[in-house]
Chain A
Amino acid sequence: MKKLVFALAATAAVLGFSVQASAQEKAKICFVYVGSKTDGGWTQAHDIGRQELEKALADKIETQFLENVPEGPDAERAIERLARSGCGLIFTTSFGFMDATVKIAAKFPDVKFEHATGYKTAPNLATYNSRFYEGRYIQGQIAAKISQKGVAGYIASFPIPEVVMGINSFVTGARTVNPDFKIKVVWANTWFDPGKEADAAKALIDQGVDVLTQHTDTTAPMQVAAERGIKAFGQASDMIKAGPETQLTAIVDTWGAYYIKRTQAFIDGKWETTSSWDGLKDGILTMAPYTNMPDDVKAMAEATQKKIEAGELKPFTGPLKKQDGSDWLKDGEVAEDGVLLGMNFYVEGVDDKLPQ
């Protein structure tokens, strides 16, 4: 279905581009989205970044985007069409666009590409990512303070390193406050299905968790938490509207600064391939206001955030044990980025078996 929609959209977009291509002289910066730009989560955060970029460099560039592009062979066509239509710099904003971006980048050496959350680079292909796990560490600490029962619920999407890393960071943070803290994980096996996410939230709450966090895209879990009177964390965007008395904080993706920085470099002819993995200190993610919690918890969260921003605190610092009790990090040892990006094991405190 989505493919058909996309084919129509792409055709329309290409027609639109070819008309405009002749009339413009500004650099054209293009974006490929996996979802709709109003999804309230992941893609919306990228689109807000695009709008900030357009505002900041309005006289030098113009932007274009394709939304609802399915991951897979269709993505290749979409990216190629953008490259042909005169885009100078193309951001592909989903993990699943990786191989398609690599292929097209090889075909168009004069066009620059940037792929979000991937790990394959080329002379004209950079990658960029955000250390979301830093925010999850803070969430874990808050959860351990707020929870009466010492158990949090975690709605996960797919067992990829990015998500496993988030779970581990949350537990590690929580255990600095309460060494016996546990989390229950439910894999929804979807990024986007409000109904299923709500069902997962109900399943967790019915089994006794009293604080909820999610790594899926809609506000449905937040709504269920509000209905059942427990607290929850938002994901990708500030979800306070869905739970004014429920949301403790949220990890908010703020891509704008990165897009402006890279586009400026592109205009100045200084663009080079990089693998950027920025965190709280770079402002690529921010925490939504700390709400619905006692002042001492808020103070603790702010202190932790300051330490992470200053580089004094790295969430994955030993001593840490794996789920099976074996040693992972020695006292004071900090996990390497390579290990994090391929993370396929749980740390201690996760009450779940990792799907392999």
Chain B
Amino acid sequence: MGIFEAILLTVITAATPLVLAALGELVTERSGVLNLGVEGMMVMGAACAFIATQQTGSPYIGILAGIASGAVFSLLFGFLTLTLVANQVATGLALTILGLGVSGMIGEAYVGQSGIKLPQIVFPILSDIPFIGPLLFRQDLIFYLSIALVIGVQWFLFRSRAGLKLRSVGDSHSSAHALGINVIRTRYLAVMFGGGCAGLAGAQLSLVYTPQWVENMSAGRGWIALALVVFASWRPWRVVIGGYLFGAVSISQLYAQAFGVGIPSQFLSALPYLATIVVLILISHNRRMTLINTPASLGKPFVPDR
């Protein structure tokens, strides 16, 4: 295996949780809800996936537990912001704090245990293609799911009737309501999808990336996922580009250090963030394009008049 291939493999592992969590948040935000609790849902997913895997011995049950815990946890956010119309920003932040605390508590007994790594699924024939084979066809289930989800979300948002409704709810909830679309229900589903994706991203952390549980193991990846949604200007394909770009820059700086290039490591560590800022500036340069893609009702509460 060449060094380039090795780097790409590491990049894929690092980028997958970012892509997954950002994709979920993208759908949530497209419905007009800003959920800043991604970090909390992700870390809950990581804890529950790890615990379920240790209890049952099956990482696949762990994946289900991760998705379910993220979705259930996001329901709390949904109930507070959609039913009780609480402030979305404050509730989202609270969700992150709560998630970090609760996951630390339920996971305490599991700290230091060696986990079970999610096995690779090898596609016969395809995996023998040089270079591409090992990279794309000798991966774990969560990687395949992430690719399928990107295609699925792209199709859902821009090719399906339900996706059109979801976007209309995000752009103008009053108009959508007037047209007879159930705004609150749509948003609940979108929030739960976001939670499920964040939970799956968490499961990737504790089952693939580093098969173990330690408190606060998401280490800020939920916040990066949030930034990626803006970076991607609410477009699924750009989430993939952004996620892998971010992963590539942050991984290659580690390889560059091990290789012995004489650039200060602090600068190399800051590179991914610098790259993000540069791209954000380039994107926001074109104001019209940004406005077209930004959900107009993002973060605004909706109270149906009865």
Contact = CB atoms under 8 A, between A and B. Distances in A.
Interface stretch (A76-84, A121-129, A179-187): A179-187
B255 A203 contact: yes
A188 B266 CA distance: 9
Nearest to B104: A36
Contacts of B257: 185-187, 203, 352
Contacts of A185: 257
Nearest to A196: B219
A189 B260 contact: no
B112 interface: yes
Contact of A241 (B14, B100, B114): B114
Contact of B210 (A189, A195, A206): A195
B112 to A, nearest CB: 5
B101 interface: yes
Contact of A207 (B112, B215, B259, B262): B259
A242 interface: yes
A220 B255 contact: no
Interface string B10-53: 10001000000000000000000000000100000000000000
Contacts of B212: 194, 218-220, 223, 242
Interface residues of A, number: 44
Given A194-B217, A199-B14, A242-B114, A4 B108 contact: no
B260 A220 contact: no
A187 B114 contact: no
A241 B113 contact: yes
Interface in B74-106: 93, 96-97, 100-101, 104
B6 interface: yes
B108 A38 contact: yes
A202 B265 CA distance: 17
A185 B262 CA distance: 12
Interface string A163-204: 000000000000000000000111111101111111110111
A40 interface: yes
Interface string B225-260: 000000000000000000000000011001101111
A252 B51 CA distance: 27
B251 A36 contact: no
Nearest to B257: A186
Given A195-B209, A199-B251, A1 B96 contact: yes
A167 B117 CA distance: 31
B279 interface: no
Contact of B266 (A204, A223, A355): A355
A206 B112 contact: no
A39 B111 CA distance: 8
Nearest to B221: A195
Contacts of A200: 254, 258
Nearest to A207: B258
Given A1-B97, A39-B214, A242-B212, A192 B219 contact: yes
A5 interface: yes
B255 A223 contact: no
A326 B137 CA distance: 52
Interface string B248-286: 001100110111101011100100000000000000000
Contacts of B262: 353
B265 A206 contact: no
Contacts of B7: 203, 206
B101 A186 contact: no
Contacts of A333: none
A153 interface: yes
Interface string A151-162: 001000001000
A356 B214 CA distance: 31
Contacts of A8: 97
B260 A184 contact: yes
A36 B217 CA distance: 12
B12 to A, nearest CB: 12
A303 B227 CA distance: 54
B178 interface: no
Contacts of B221: 195
B220 to A, nearest CB: 8
A223 B219 contact: no
Nearest to A242: B114
B134 interface: no
A159 B268 CA distance: 14
A195 B112 contact: no
A218 B6 contact: no
A171 B159 CA distance: 60
Interface of B: 3, 6-7, 10, 14, 39, 93, 96-97, 100-101, 104, 108, 111-114, 117, 205, 209-212, 214-217, 219-221, 250-251, 254-255, 257-260, 262, 264-266, 269
Sorted from nearest, which 4 A-B pairs have the closest CB atoms? Answer: A187-B265, A203-B254, A206-B6, A193-B219
10 contacts: A188-B254, A190-B219, A194-B209, A194-B212, A194-B214, A198-B209, A203-B257, A209-B258, A218-B212, A241-B113
